[in-house]
Amino acid sequence: MTPHFDPHADFDAPVHAFSCRCPFHARRLFTGALVAGAALPVLGQTADGLREDVGKESRFTKLVPAEQVEAAAEQQYRQMVQQAAQQKALGPADHPQVVRLRTIAQRIIPFSQTWNQRAKQWRWEVNLFGSKQLNAFCMPGGKIAFFYGILSELQLTDDEVATIMGHEVAHALREHARERMGKTAATRIGAGLLSSILGLGSAGDTLLNMGGQLLTLRFSREDESEADIVGMELAARAGYDPAAGVTLWQKMMKASQGAPPEFLSTHPAGETRIRDIQSRLPRVQPIYANAPKPDRKFGPPAPK
Ligand SMILES: [Zn+2]
């Protein structure tokens, strides 16, 4: 193993934790076609997966341009990667867990475009950070991060890793960060003023000031629920068992016993979340059954 990576380094980045807000607050809104050309859901047909469970994009999303949000995210991610490298906390490309994460990402990413057309131009990245934190995220523009702690503490299976990755990628595809930023900007300076600022082309400064927000994002319950739904479907299409959402959240709940209060406070509704995942399984299992399965299996890091 390379001496330049310490998986138990204390790398810290207060970015959206995988489990930042978990109460599952189901929102059933019918959306005819989220993506141009998407087929209307047909009753009893499973090919469309869970698309009909996902709500419309928030009116706040369009307040800030996607390009700017993605650029701000890229900048933050770059900084994180650089800092981690300096602290020997950046997993090298040949680390087995980095290989594992990138293999799983490669299977999930092709299915992202049906949820967001921009995703095909994203410069996707997947990195592993040496840290005890139980954390993972995907920033706007496809910048994925996993913290070693979540892989090792929870002894995640490949299916569970795919579930987390699907959930995080779903936040990025559904542009929840952009929506949050739009909401904040609208509250602070007024939506009307914001659009005139953006119209005048000085959006760069506004967005740059808001970029820091990406590090402290808290998503709403609706966003969390949506990320669970979209994530399940992505994982199933990529050939990973969506039932892993159940074991994953059971592990999360167990880990939250005796964990720091902030972790506990972010997991208040584990049982509800698990029930919601279970109730959707019958509709994603057929997708999983028909999906080509990964030919490479990995495992979690050896327990400490
Ligand atoms: Zn989330």
CB under 8 Å to 281, separation ≥6 — which residues?
Answer: 242, 243, 246
Segment 135-151 mean pLDDT: 92
For range 13-34, the mean pLDDT: 33
**Lowest mean pLDDT across 12-26, 91-105, 201-215:** 12-26
Q: What is the pLDDT of residue 19?
A: 37
The mean per-residue pLDDT over the stretch 35-61 comes to 57
Domain map (residue ranges) of the chain: 26-290
Distance 87 CA to ligand 1 centre (A): 27
pLDDT of residue 64: 80
For ligand 1, the distance from its centroid to the CA atom of residue 136, given in whole angstroms, is 9
Residue range 238-271, pLDDT digits in tens: 999 999 999 998 888 888 776 654 444 544 457 8
Question: How many whole angstroms from 292 Cα to the centroid of ligand 1?
Answer: 27
* Average pLDDT of span 38-55: 56
**If we measure between CA atoms, which residue out of 99, 54, 107, 106 comes closest to residue 236?**
107
User: How far away, in angstroms, is 169 Cα from ligand 1 center?
Assistant: 9
Ion ligand 1, residue ranges at CB < 5 A: 224, 227
pLDDT at 61: 75
pLDDT band at 207 (very low <50, low <70, confident <90, very high): low
Distance 57 CA to ligand 1 centre (A): 16
Q: Does residue 95 have a pLDDT over 70?
A: yes
Task: Show the beta-strand stretches assigned E in 13-168.
Answer: 125-129, 136-139, 143-147
For residue 177, the CA-to-ligand 1 centroid distance in Å is: 11
Distance 167 CA to ligand 1 centre (A): 6
* The pLDDT of residue 205: 53
CA distance 268 to 265: 6
How far does the centroid of ligand 1 lie from the alpha carbon of residue 70, in Å? Answer: 18
Give me the pLDDT at residue 51, please.
Answer: 82
